[in-house]
Protein backbone atom coordinates (compact mmCIF):
# COMPACT_ATOMS: atom_id res chain seq x y z
CA UNK A 1 0.00 0.00 0.00
CA UNK A 2 2.82 2.43 0.92
CA UNK A 3 4.54 1.70 -2.38
CA UNK A 4 1.35 2.49 -4.31
CA UNK A 5 0.89 5.77 -2.39
CA UNK A 6 4.48 6.76 -3.12
CA UNK A 7 4.10 6.00 -6.82
CA UNK A 8 0.89 8.05 -6.94
CA UNK A 9 2.65 10.98 -5.25
CA UNK A 10 5.54 10.84 -7.71
CA UNK A 11 3.10 10.69 -10.61
CA UNK A 12 1.25 13.76 -9.30
CA UNK A 13 4.50 15.69 -8.93
CA UNK A 14 5.48 14.78 -12.49
CA UNK A 15 2.21 16.22 -13.73
CA UNK A 16 2.53 19.42 -11.73
CA UNK A 17 6.16 20.20 -12.55
CA UNK A 18 5.63 21.15 -16.23
CA UNK A 19 2.74 23.40 -15.23
CA UNK A 20 4.84 25.17 -12.62
CA UNK A 21 7.68 25.61 -15.09
CA UNK A 22 5.29 26.97 -17.68
CA UNK A 23 3.77 29.42 -15.20
CA UNK A 24 7.22 30.81 -14.42
CA UNK A 25 8.66 30.85 -17.93
CA UNK A 26 10.50 34.13 -17.47
CA UNK A 27 11.50 34.56 -21.10
CA UNK A 28 7.94 34.11 -22.37
CA UNK A 29 6.66 36.44 -19.67
CA UNK A 30 9.15 39.15 -20.60
CA UNK A 31 8.22 38.83 -24.28
CA UNK A 32 4.59 39.32 -23.28
CA UNK A 33 5.54 42.44 -21.28
CA UNK A 34 7.34 43.84 -24.34
CA UNK A 35 4.35 43.35 -26.62
CA UNK A 36 1.83 44.61 -24.08
CA UNK A 37 3.83 47.82 -23.65
CA UNK A 38 4.21 48.46 -27.37
CA UNK A 39 3.59 46.79 -30.71
CA UNK A 40 6.74 45.52 -32.39
CA UNK A 41 6.38 48.32 -34.98
CA UNK A 42 4.57 51.53 -34.08
CA UNK A 43 4.35 55.31 -34.06
CA UNK A 44 3.70 57.31 -30.90
CA UNK A 45 3.54 60.82 -29.49
CA UNK A 46 4.78 61.56 -25.97
CA UNK A 47 5.35 64.50 -23.69
CA UNK A 48 8.46 64.40 -21.49
CA UNK A 49 8.52 66.59 -18.39
CA UNK A 50 11.60 67.30 -16.28
CA UNK A 51 11.07 68.72 -12.79
CA UNK A 52 13.86 70.14 -10.62
CA UNK A 53 13.99 70.65 -6.83
CA UNK A 54 13.72 74.45 -7.25
CA UNK A 55 10.41 74.04 -9.08
CA UNK A 56 11.86 74.62 -12.54
CA UNK A 57 10.10 72.57 -15.20
CA UNK A 58 10.84 71.85 -18.85
CA UNK A 59 8.63 70.01 -21.33
CA UNK A 60 9.37 68.25 -24.61
CA UNK A 61 7.04 66.70 -27.17
CA UNK A 62 8.43 63.80 -29.20
CA UNK A 63 7.10 61.87 -32.15
CA UNK A 64 8.64 58.38 -32.32
CA UNK A 65 8.61 55.36 -34.61
CA UNK A 66 9.95 51.85 -34.02
CA UNK A 67 10.50 48.84 -36.25
CA UNK A 68 11.22 45.34 -35.04
CA UNK A 69 12.93 44.86 -31.71
CA UNK A 70 15.85 47.29 -31.91
CA UNK A 71 15.29 50.21 -34.31
CA UNK A 72 13.85 53.48 -32.95
CA UNK A 73 13.78 57.06 -34.25
CA UNK A 74 12.35 60.15 -32.55
CA UNK A 75 11.66 63.72 -33.67
CA UNK A 76 11.38 66.75 -31.35
CA UNK A 77 8.19 68.74 -31.99
CA UNK A 78 8.57 71.11 -29.02
CA UNK A 79 9.90 73.29 -27.49
CA UNK A 80 10.77 75.66 -30.33
CA UNK A 81 14.45 75.60 -29.34
CA UNK A 82 14.61 71.84 -29.97
CA UNK A 83 12.11 71.51 -32.83
CA UNK A 84 13.57 69.57 -35.75
CA UNK A 85 16.14 67.69 -33.73
CA UNK A 86 15.99 63.93 -34.12
CA UNK A 87 17.51 60.84 -32.60
CA UNK A 88 18.14 57.41 -34.05
CA UNK A 89 18.87 54.07 -32.42
CA UNK A 90 20.05 50.95 -34.18
CA UNK A 91 20.68 48.32 -31.51
CA UNK A 92 23.42 49.70 -29.24
CA UNK A 93 24.27 52.60 -31.59
CA UNK A 94 22.65 56.03 -31.14
CA UNK A 95 22.87 59.38 -32.92
CA UNK A 96 21.55 62.91 -32.49
CA UNK A 97 20.79 65.20 -35.45
CA UNK A 98 20.72 68.98 -34.91
CA UNK A 99 19.48 71.00 -37.92
CA UNK A 100 22.03 73.83 -37.71
CA UNK A 101 24.87 71.32 -37.37
CA UNK A 102 23.68 69.22 -40.28
CA UNK A 103 25.58 66.06 -39.44
CA UNK A 104 24.45 63.35 -36.97
CA UNK A 105 26.68 62.97 -33.93
CA UNK A 106 27.03 59.86 -31.82
CA UNK A 107 25.47 59.79 -28.37
CA UNK A 108 25.50 57.14 -25.63
CA UNK A 109 22.74 55.29 -23.82
CA UNK A 110 23.59 56.90 -20.46
CA UNK A 111 23.46 60.47 -21.81
CA UNK A 112 20.15 62.31 -22.03
CA UNK A 113 19.04 64.39 -25.02
CA UNK A 114 16.39 65.98 -22.77
CA UNK A 115 18.65 66.58 -19.79
CA UNK A 116 16.42 64.88 -17.21
CA UNK A 117 16.45 61.64 -15.23
CA UNK A 118 15.41 59.67 -18.31
CA UNK A 119 18.50 58.76 -20.30
CA UNK A 120 18.68 58.00 -24.02
CA UNK A 121 18.11 54.27 -23.41
CA UNK A 122 14.83 55.12 -21.64
CA UNK A 123 13.70 57.54 -24.35
CA UNK A 124 14.72 55.26 -27.25
CA UNK A 125 13.72 52.01 -25.56
CA UNK A 126 14.08 48.75 -27.47
CA UNK A 127 12.57 45.42 -26.38
CA UNK A 128 13.74 44.22 -22.98
CA UNK A 129 14.22 40.75 -24.49
CA UNK A 130 16.68 42.28 -26.96
CA UNK A 131 18.99 43.55 -24.21
CA UNK A 132 18.43 41.26 -21.22
CA UNK A 133 18.31 37.64 -20.14
CA UNK A 134 15.91 36.55 -17.41
CA UNK A 135 17.88 35.17 -14.46
CA UNK A 136 14.96 34.61 -12.06
CA UNK A 137 11.16 34.58 -12.15
CA UNK A 138 8.79 34.21 -9.23
CA UNK A 139 5.29 35.00 -8.03
CA UNK A 140 4.40 37.36 -5.19
CA UNK A 141 0.71 37.88 -4.55
CA UNK A 142 -0.81 39.76 -7.47
CA UNK A 143 2.55 40.26 -9.18
CA UNK A 144 5.29 38.45 -11.03
CA UNK A 145 8.86 39.35 -10.16
CA UNK A 146 11.47 39.17 -12.92
CA UNK A 147 15.20 39.68 -12.51
CA UNK A 148 17.12 40.55 -15.66
CA UNK A 149 20.83 40.64 -16.51
CA UNK A 150 22.26 42.63 -19.42
CA UNK A 151 23.50 40.51 -22.32
CA UNK A 152 26.43 42.88 -23.00
CA UNK A 153 28.29 45.72 -21.33
CA UNK A 154 26.82 48.18 -23.83
CA UNK A 155 23.40 48.10 -22.12
CA UNK A 156 22.53 51.13 -19.97
CA UNK A 157 21.78 49.09 -16.84
CA UNK A 158 23.52 45.93 -15.71
CA UNK A 159 20.45 44.51 -13.95
CA UNK A 160 16.72 45.19 -13.82
CA UNK A 161 14.12 44.08 -11.30
CA UNK A 162 10.63 44.13 -12.79
CA UNK A 163 7.39 43.99 -10.84
CA UNK A 164 4.69 42.86 -13.28
CA UNK A 165 0.96 42.89 -12.66
CA UNK A 166 -0.32 39.32 -13.08
CA UNK A 167 -3.68 40.38 -14.51
CA UNK A 168 -2.50 42.82 -17.20
CA UNK A 169 1.06 41.45 -17.64
CA UNK A 170 2.31 45.03 -17.60
CA UNK A 171 5.10 46.41 -15.43
CA UNK A 172 4.16 48.51 -12.41
CA UNK A 173 7.72 49.17 -11.21
CA UNK A 174 11.24 48.66 -12.54
CA UNK A 175 14.41 49.08 -10.50
CA UNK A 176 17.57 49.66 -12.55
CA UNK A 177 21.01 48.78 -11.15
CA UNK A 178 24.62 49.39 -12.15
CA UNK A 179 27.15 46.55 -12.27
CA UNK A 180 28.36 47.64 -8.82
CA UNK A 181 24.90 46.89 -7.39
CA UNK A 182 24.05 50.59 -7.00
CA UNK A 183 20.40 51.49 -7.59
CA UNK A 184 20.49 53.93 -10.51
CA UNK A 185 16.79 54.73 -10.81
CA UNK A 186 13.26 53.45 -10.32
CA UNK A 187 10.53 53.68 -12.97
CA UNK A 188 6.85 53.68 -12.06
CA UNK A 189 4.16 52.72 -14.61
CA UNK A 190 0.72 54.24 -14.00
CA UNK A 191 -2.66 55.12 -15.51
CA UNK A 192 -3.59 52.21 -17.79
CA UNK A 193 -5.22 53.63 -20.94
CA UNK A 194 -6.84 52.08 -24.00
CA UNK A 195 -5.07 53.56 -27.05
CA UNK A 196 -7.16 51.56 -29.52
CA UNK A 197 -6.12 48.82 -31.90
CA UNK A 198 -5.72 46.37 -29.03
CA UNK A 199 -3.10 48.54 -27.28
CA UNK A 200 -3.81 48.98 -23.58
CA UNK A 201 -0.82 50.16 -21.57
CA UNK A 202 0.31 52.69 -18.93
CA UNK A 203 -0.11 56.25 -20.15
CA UNK A 204 2.29 57.60 -17.51
CA UNK A 205 5.85 56.55 -16.70
CA UNK A 206 7.63 58.38 -13.88
CA UNK A 207 11.23 58.03 -12.75
CA UNK A 208 13.38 59.23 -9.90
CA UNK A 209 16.93 58.46 -8.86
CA UNK A 210 18.92 58.44 -5.61
CA UNK A 211 21.72 59.97 -7.71
CA UNK A 212 19.56 63.04 -8.48
CA UNK A 213 17.69 63.76 -5.28
CA UNK A 214 14.69 66.02 -5.75
CA UNK A 215 14.67 65.59 -9.54
CA UNK A 216 11.85 63.80 -11.33
CA UNK A 217 11.01 63.02 -14.96
CA UNK A 218 7.68 61.94 -16.43
CA UNK A 219 6.61 60.52 -19.79
CA UNK A 220 2.98 61.07 -20.80
CA UNK A 221 1.82 58.96 -23.75
CA UNK A 222 -0.73 60.78 -25.93
CA UNK A 223 -0.96 58.30 -28.82
CA UNK A 224 0.39 54.85 -29.63
CA UNK A 225 -0.61 52.87 -32.70
CA UNK A 226 0.69 50.11 -34.92
CA UNK A 227 2.45 51.26 -38.07
CA UNK A 228 4.75 49.58 -40.55
CA UNK A 229 7.70 51.87 -41.26
CA UNK A 230 10.19 51.48 -44.15
CA UNK A 231 13.77 50.47 -43.29
CA UNK A 232 14.96 53.72 -44.89
CA UNK A 233 13.58 55.67 -41.93
CA UNK A 234 16.14 54.12 -39.58
CA UNK A 235 19.21 55.44 -41.39
CA UNK A 236 21.45 58.45 -40.80
CA UNK A 237 20.39 60.02 -44.11
CA UNK A 238 16.73 60.06 -43.07
CA UNK A 239 17.23 61.79 -39.70
CA UNK A 240 16.63 65.23 -41.22
CA UNK A 241 13.43 64.00 -42.91
CA UNK A 242 11.50 62.41 -40.03
CA UNK A 243 8.86 65.15 -40.27
CA UNK A 244 7.76 63.56 -43.59
CA UNK A 245 6.26 60.65 -41.64
CA UNK A 246 3.70 62.94 -40.02
CA UNK A 247 2.27 64.28 -43.28
Tens of pLDDT, residues 96-152: 999 988 789 999 999 999 999 999 999 999 999 999 999 999 999 999 999 999 999
CA 183 vs CA 137, 160, 198: distances in Å = 20, 10, 34
Q: What is the pTM of this model?
A: 0.87
Query: How many other C-beta atoms can be found within 10 angstroms of the C-beta atom of residue 40?
Result: 13
Query: How many other C-beta atoms can be found within 10 angstroms of the C-beta atom of residue 134?
Result: 21
Question: Is 231 a domain residue?
Answer: yes
Question: Is 17 a domain residue?
Answer: no
Q: Is the distance from CB of 33 to CB of 171 less than 8 angstroms?
A: yes
The domain that holds 226 is classified in CATH as: 2.50.20.10
Q: Is the distance from CB of 146 to CB of 136 less than 8 angstroms?
A: yes
| 163: containing domain | 26-242
Beta bridge partners of 148: 134, 160
- Rounded to an integer, the average pLDDT of 199-210 is 97
Question: Is 4 a domain residue?
Answer: no
Question: Is 21 a domain residue?
Answer: no
Q: Is the distance from CB of 183 to CB of 175 less than 8 angstroms?
A: yes
pLDDT in tens, 57-77: 999 999 999 999 999 999 999
- Rounded to an integer, the average pLDDT of 51-60 is 96
- Indicate the number of domains in the chain: 1
Question: Is 166 a domain residue?
Answer: yes
Question: Is 20 a domain residue?
Answer: no
Looking at the chain, the whole-number percentage of residues with pLDDT higher than 90 is 88
Question: Is 30 a domain residue?
Answer: yes
**3-class DSSP state of 136:** strand
Residue 16 scores a pLDDT above 90: no
Confidence label for 247 from pLDDT (cuts 50, 70 and 90): confident
Residue 11 scores a pLDDT above 70: no
Question: Is 13 a domain residue?
Answer: no
pLDDT of residue 4: 54
Tell me, letter by letter, the H, E, C secondary structure of 137-183: EEEECCEEEEEEEECCCCCCCCEEEEEEECCCCEEEEEEEECCCCCE
Amino acid sequence: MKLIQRLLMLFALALLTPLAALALDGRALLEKVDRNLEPESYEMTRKLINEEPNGKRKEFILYSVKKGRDKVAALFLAPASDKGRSTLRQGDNMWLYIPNVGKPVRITSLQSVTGGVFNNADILRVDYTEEYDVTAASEAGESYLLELKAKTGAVAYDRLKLTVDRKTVLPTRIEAYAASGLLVKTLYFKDIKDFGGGIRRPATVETDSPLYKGYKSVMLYAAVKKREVPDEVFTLNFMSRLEELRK
